[in-house]
Amino acid sequence: MNDLVTKEMLEVGAVSDEVLDKLEEYKTLNEWFDTFKFEFKKACEEYGIKKWETDYFLMNYIEDTFTKRVDTNRMKNENIYVVNAESGELEEVNAYEYFSKPSLSKAHVTYKEKK
């Protein structure tokens, strides 16, 4: 963690030493859980397990699958022709812009582990 930023956060009271300790604890537990998931995946593959369900959690083993994804970079470089609803004439428009719609992203806080 950047020491200068951490010092400033402590000075203004935005975080406490307890919060920093909890973040370190979180990091340790997250690393343990990543190892646990790896071991679970190995066991699923070896013994044909698909699901583990308890009163506290559910873990599923999802096999490799193929999906379709839209090639947005290609769409941004392609134009298509669409009929103008008012004039009835064909108009050339960008495929990406034509099929895109705005969506609201609500305010939130993010946290990303540096590895």
Tokens (6 digits) for 76: 């941004």
DSSP 61: -
What is the predicted pLDDT for the residue at 57?
87
- Calpha distance 46→40 (Å, rounded): 10
10-58 pLDDT, tens digit per residue, is: 778 777 888 888 888 999 999 999 999 999 999 999 999 999 998 888 9
Q: Note the pTM of the prediction, 2 decimals.
A: 0.57
What is the predicted pLDDT for the residue at 8?
79
**Quick one: which H or E segment has residue 3?**
helix 3-11
What is the predicted pLDDT for the residue at 109?
66
Domain boundaries along the sequence of the chain: 1-65, 68-101
